[in-house]
Structure 1
Amino acid sequence: MDFMTAVRTCLSKYVDFSGRARRSEYWYFALFGFLVGIATSVVDALLGTSYDTGSGGLVNTAGSLALFLPSLAAGVRRLHDTGRSGWWILIGIIPIIGWILIIVWFCTDSKADNQYGPNPKTGPAGYEGGYPPPPPAYGSGQYGG
């Protein structure tokens, strides 16, 4: 999955906590959130809307709030891909140990088909061609070529 597809997928599933998300989908969206944070901080600095307390400015706070639910949903779907309940995301509340566990789980490879759906890398069990199936090749006779 490429960067733009991952961002589009996560934003379109912004409150969809079911299903699974591949590593690339999650980490590309995390990169997008990081880049949005940098951009909104620069806009805050240019507009003079940043606070002296070290917290984010007005634009940065609005950007963070806009990406909160999509990021949470992507994290839950990523945990589903590793075979864990989405409630495990709450372990991130525990400083250091919880953060390390979450990062390790988010970096773990996809598990086989589980109760959250088929493996997004390979599709349903027994399907050998990848998921989704590729379109027929040109000249295969299916399109008259």
Structure 2
Amino acid sequence: MNWYLNVLKQYAVFKGRARRKEYWFFILFNLIASVVLTAIDFMTGLLDAELGIGLLSGLYSLAVLVPSLAVTVRRLHDTDRSGWWLLIGLVPLLGAIVLLVFMLLDGTPGDNQHGANPKGVAA
């Protein structure tokens, strides 16, 4: 849970680096929260079947949009890539696969152009 809260505390920090662990724990807790809120929307009748989103889950999605972008950019920085690589996700299917691979790669050991190694281990 601390990984999730740390990302929210740095909600608009697009500089620096983020470890794989930080990124994937944020994604995991984000997914769990979205599923729970969608279930609550469904049970309370707040879910719009045509749009596939409810009031609570929609508000939550808007609230974590900027932190999600920020942690993704920091994760790209950890692999020594520019945050602009995030735009490759706009390419249907292929872009998502490329981003997934980037998110799964280990960060560059030691310092890189985006800052110090978040693992604290220099190679």
- Would you call these one fold, judging by a TM-score over 0.5? yes
Which of structure 1's runs of 4+ aligned residues deviate more than 2 A? none
Q: Which has the higher contact order (CA 8 A, sep 6+)?
A: 2
* Residue of structure 1 equivalent to 2:47: 50
Q: Give the letter for the 1:74 counterpart.
A: V
State the number of aligned residues. 122
Give TM-score scaled by structure 2 length.
0.94
Structure 1: gaps (5+ residues): 127-145
Distance, in Å, in 1 between the alignment partners of 2:51 and 2:12 is 30
Give TM-score scaled by structure 1 length.
0.80
Question: Which structure has the larger Rg over C-alpha atoms?
Answer: 1
CA drift of 1:39 comes to 0.9
* Residue of structure 2 equivalent to 1:19: 16
**Contact 1:78/1:106, CA 8 A, preserved across alignment:** yes
The percentage of counterpart residues that share the same residue type is 44
Distance, in Å, in 2 between the alignment partners of 1:108 and 1:61 is 31
The Cα RMSD (Å) is 1.2
Q: Give the letter for the 1:79 counterpart.
A: L
* Residue of structure 1 equivalent to 2:99: 102
**Contact 1:20/1:81, CA 8 A, preserved across alignment:** yes
